[in-house]
Amino acid sequence: MLINTPVLLIVGPTAAGKTGLAVSLAQQFNGEIINADSRQVYRWMDIGTAKPSPHERDQAPHHLLDILDPDQNFDLATFLSLAREAISGIQERGRLPIVVGGTGQYIWALVEGWQVPKVAPDLEFRAAKNAEMEEHGPKYIYQQLQQANPQRAAQLDSRNVRRVIRALEVDRARASQPRTSEDPPKALADCMILGVTLDREQLYKRIDDRVDRMISQGLEEEVRTLAADGYQPGNGALAGPGYRELGEFLYGRISLEEAIQRTKFQTHRLVRRQYNWFKLDDPRIEWFDAGAPAIASQARLAVENFLANRDCYGTISQDSNRIFRDRDPGQ
C-alpha cells in the first residue's frame, strides 16, 4: 500500500547539522523523529555515532535508536519494516513523521518503495567467503562485489569485509528470488526531502572539530568498554570511523594521535560516499546551507508551505503558526 500522508525527510552528510534541525522542526510541527542512520540503531555506541543527546531526545520523540546490541545484524529489509511501522504509528497519532539520517540506501529505499526480501544468514556462504578472504585478501572479495553489484560496492568501504560479504550474500539470494508482482508498493506518495549541506572544506573542519570533541567526551573509554564486553572494534557495527581506529590504538598498533587523524580522514571518506547518494543537483532534494544564519527559519517556511494545503495536517499548521508568533527559531 502507499504511505500517502505527508512525511518529511532530512538528509545530508555527517556533521552537517541534521539532528538539530530535525529536533527544531519536530517541536514546531508536532513531529516525531525516525532514525535513518545505520549505526545509531546500536546500544552503547553513543559518542562515536554522534547519537542525539539525552536533551535532544527529550525535545522530541525518537524512533529506531538503541534497538540492537552491537553484534546483531541490521540490514535494509529490517530498516524498511521498522521505519514503515513507525511512520504508520506516527500518522495514526496525527503527528508528522520526520525521517533523519545520512544512510542514503535507507532513505531512497523508503522514498521509492523498494521491495527488499529479508535474506536469512547463509553461514556456509559466509564461511566460504571468509576462507577466500584469508587466502586472497579483502580486495579479492570486494572485487567480486564490484563485478556483481557495482552500485552497492561503491557504497561500501572495501575494508569492511563483513558488510561486503553480506552484500554478496544478499545479492546472491535476491538473484534466486526475483521480485514478484504480488509485492504491493510502499512508496512515500507525499513527502518533502530537505538536504543540509556545507562547503566541503568547512564540513571537513566541522568533522575534525567534532572528532576532537568525541575524544574529550570519552570516545576512547566507550570503545574500551565495548571491547571489554566482547564487541571487537573493527568488526560488525564497530567497523565505522572512530571505533576501528580507536581499537587499533587500544591494541597497541598505532598511537592515539594517529587514531584520531585516521578517524578524521575516514569520516571525510564517508562524506564523499554520502554525496554519491545525496547529489546536490537532485531535484527531489531542497538543499539548505548549514552555514547560513537563517537556516532554521528557511527550513521552517519550506515545511510550512509543504503542509499548507493538506487537510490532514491542519492542526499542525495551526499549532506551528502559534509557535512562529511566539518564537523565531532562527534566533
Helices (H), the chain: 18-28, 54-59, 76-92, 104-112, 123-136, 138-148, 150-154, 161-176, 200-217, 219-228, 243-250, 256-277, 295-307, 314-326
* Mean pLDDT computed over every residue of the chain: 89
**Could you state, in order of their start, the residue ranges of all structural domains in the chain?**
7-116+184-326, 123-176
pLDDT at 315: 45
Please compute the mean of the pLDDT values over residues 178-196 and round it to a whole number. Answer: 75
The pLDDT tens digits for 203-241 are 999 999 999 999 999 999 999 999 999 999 998 899 999
117 pLDDT tier (thresholds 50, 70, 90): confident
Cα angle value 171/275/70 (rounded, 5°): 55
Residue 11's nearest CA partner among 111, 88, 79 is: 111
- Secondary structure (3-state) at 156: coil
Characterize 22-34 residue by residue with b for buried, 16 or more Cβ atoms within 10 angstroms of its Cβ, and e for exposed: bbbbbebbbbbbb
The correct answer on CATH 3.40.50.300 for the domain covering 7-116+184-326 is: yes
The pLDDT tens digits for 259-302 are 999 999 999 999 999 999 999 999 999 999 999 999 999 999 99
73 pLDDT tier (thresholds 50, 70, 90): confident
186 pLDDT tier (thresholds 50, 70, 90): confident
Higher-pLDDT residue of 320 and 292 is 292
